[in-house]
Structure formats: C-alpha cells, structure tokens
Amino acid sequence: MPTPLPAPYLIAASPAAAALIGLDAAALGAEDFVATLSGNRVPLAAQPLAAVYSGHQFGVWAGQLGDGRAILLGELATPDGPLELQLKGAGATPYSRMGDGRAVLRSSIREFLCSEAMAALGIPSSRALAVTGSDQGVLRESMESAAVVTRMAPSFVRFGSFEHWFYREQTAELKILADYVIDAFYPQLRREANPYQALLAEVARRTAHTIAHWQAVGFMHGVLNTDNMSILGLTLDYGPFGFMEAFDARHICNHTDQQGRYSYAMQPEIGHWNCYALGQALLPLIGEVSAAQEALDVYQPAFAARMDQLLHQKLGLDTALDTDAVLFDAMFALMQANHVDFTLFFRRLGDLRVDEPAADAPLRDLFIDRPAFDAWAAQYRQRLRREGSADAARRAAMNRVNPKYVLRNYLAQVAIEKAQKKDFTEVERLLSVLARPYDEQPEHEHYAALPPDWASHLEVSCSS
C-alpha cells in the first residue's frame, strides 16, 4: 500500500496524458485526485502491487531488484487499449531494500517533463499523468522535498522481469509471464510455430527501432540496465537522461557511468546486449540456442534500416543512394570535430537553400571550421540537386522530423529551481512548449537557443 504524503499538492498535470484516460487535466487539481495521485487515497477498485524483477546493472548481474519506489494502482480501459497507472515515489515496498521508497522533486519533474516530451517527439515512451509534491523532507545528498509521479504505460514488464525467473530456475513462472505478455500485447505471435522465439524477435525489433529514434534526436537514456528495458520497446525509467547539445559521440550523460558504458555512441550496442540477456532468460521456453540466435539476428538490420530511414528524413532526402552513407559519416565527423549543437544543426539545416550558399550564415556560424562546413555543404547541395529537391517542400518535411525544442538539462534545472520555491509556472510553460516540439512557436524562441555557459556544469546521476 502507498505511504501517505503529508499535505500533498499538485505541481503539474499533462493534458495530453489525461486525455488518454478520458480526464481533463484541470480536474486533477481537485482534492480527491491529488490525494489519489499522492498515494493518500486508494481507489476502491484498486489492488496496489509492486512487481519483482532482477537485472544486469552496468553489465554486472545484480540479482533481485523490483519496484523499490513504484506502486501499481491498477489498469484502466481506454479506446486504444488498457493503461496501467503507477505511482513512483509513493513509499516503501517489499523491494525497497535499503531505500525509503520516495522520489524527490527534482527527479520527479525531470521524469514528468521528459516522458511527455518524448511522446510529443513521436518516440515510444511511458507517459506521465501528473506530478504531486509535499513539504516532507527526503534525505539524499542533502535534504530535499518529496514528490510522486503518476506514470502510465500498457505494461511496466521489463527484460529483468524475465531474468528474475530464469536465474531462479523457476521455469513455470517464466512461462506464466511470457504467456501473459504474448496474450495481452502480442496475440498475433500465437500463430507462430515458436511463439517464444517470435516474442524475442519482436522485442528485439521494437528495441532497435526505439533506440534508432533516440539516436536521431540525440537522446541519451543514461542507465540502460536490463531492469530499465521495456518488453514493449518503450522508453522507460527517466533518471540521468540528457539530450545531446555540443555533439560528442562519446558523451556520457550519467555522472555515475564512469566507464561510459551508456554513452551516446554505445546505446545501439547496449540495446543489442540487453536483448541477448533477454534471449538467455527466454531460452528455456524457446528451446534451441540457434532459434534464440535467429531471433536476436533481427536487431542489427532493424536498427540499421530504421536509422538510415531517419537520417534520410532528417536531411530531407526522398530517395536513397548507396553513397549516402559517405555523406552521413562525413556530416557526423564534421559535427564531432566542431562540437556543433545537435538540435540546432538539424533544425537550421532545413533552412539551407540549394542555390544560395550565402544564406547559410545561421547554420555556418555553428561551426568553428567554416571552410570544412562549406565543403560538406557543397556535397549536400550536389546530392539535393541530384534528386531535384525543392527548398520549400524540403524545409517543411525536415521541420516535421527535426525538433526545434527538446528538454535541455538547463531548461529542466530552471523549472526545478523555481518549483523548489513553490513556483510551478515554469514547469507548466515548459510542458506546453515541449508538447509542440516541431512547431516554430516564435513567442518561445529563447527555449531553442544555445545553452548558457553555466549549463555545462550541470551533472545528473543515479542518486535521486
């Protein structure tokens, strides 16, 4: 059961997430709703539970983990299928180990905003209905205030949910879980000769596609442990995440990750590694190692194909040529050498005019080595001419896939610092801006600017 929070209050609610379950976000400020979203009032039909799972953390088997601060209230029927409602930070569970089961304001606001920002970007993700707070103190590196995020997803089952039963050699429970996942979310797989092999292949494909979308917008998860990997291919568990700013393929967004296991460049490989961990767990059901390997072989071509598709879209290319990989590689090498802002580069690239290099100034100014940019831009223009690209149509298409607004760490930090003073207006404003990441929104132009110098000193870790 949730542990009540003293005198809870609503910090923010997501209109888009509320609409998924037939609610008006404005209604969530009512006393009964705030009490429910804070764990102070359990709905009559709810039977709260916490799920057990295990996992590999930073590549090392960590054994039993489980929902240490997440409590599932239950499942709601929606026109698009059932959604589970989960309170994160609502108190201790049987799996809290040495923890207090609480979440703090700063991490809760970050998860709330990023869950909704990722959904608005069109990337598979758990959702965040609301975040509530309390003046109750929670001790981390210092004393902070408590908060609860109400998360939603069709399922919170993880790769580690299967690993738990495999490593305990409880094959009957492993089969119950696999059958539940197949019947609830992948019923079409029942027609396959080996549904468990087909499950592994489908999860590998979805994982590859989701991580390709991360790479395409510069998102870094930060903690790609197997217990943070969704069996539905959703982006799950927003902790020390970050969006790429000054491009560095080796960038590590998680201060705890000293070895760089979960750097931007490593994410696709780690996604594949985690699928192997899931394959190992499913092996008693799949039967043959060769059948599991066949399923896992789906991952790399699925990632490569989706990444290639996304890069063509980001550069406004309607056709695909064998030589395009050379153009893409040269682009990333140029971005790396100049540490160009990831989001601004792709957004401004849409403004490039095929026959007017003089108009490149806002894009060109992102580069230290401008002659090097000019040389690459000449290759890009040649490629655009080859397919008869029209500037206006290409720009419109590129602006539909290259966001202008992402949740930069410093934007979240500004909202957090105001919220710590009980001013929640910036959380609401940022939520509204991020709900339309591809729109120009000229009144919010400053949210798309280069980060200030102080932003480079921000660090996020696993500690919240």
Q: Write out the catalytic residue numbers.
A: 227
Return the closest-CA partner of residue 315 out of 301, 304, 325, 300.
Answer: 325
Q: Which two tokens stand for residue 128?
A: 């965040």
- CA distance linking residue 302 with residue 306, whole number of Å: 6
78, 87, 93, 67: which is closest to 164 by C-alpha?
67
CA pair distance 183, 189, nearest whole angstrom: 8
Cα–Cα distance measured from residue 294 to residue 284, given in angstroms and rounded to the nearest whole number:
15
Closest among 362, 458, 344, 335 to 406, alpha carbons compared: 344
What is the Cα–Cα distance from 59 to 117, expressed in whole angstroms? 29
DSSP 49: B
Encoded tokens for 395: 């720009």
Question: What is the distance between the alpha carbons of residues 415 and 412, in angstroms, rounded to a whole number?
Answer: 5
Which amino acid would we find at residue 73?
A: L
CB 405 within 8 A of CB 448: yes
Q: How far apart are CA 219 and CA 55, in angstroms?
A: 23
DSSP character for 77?
A: -
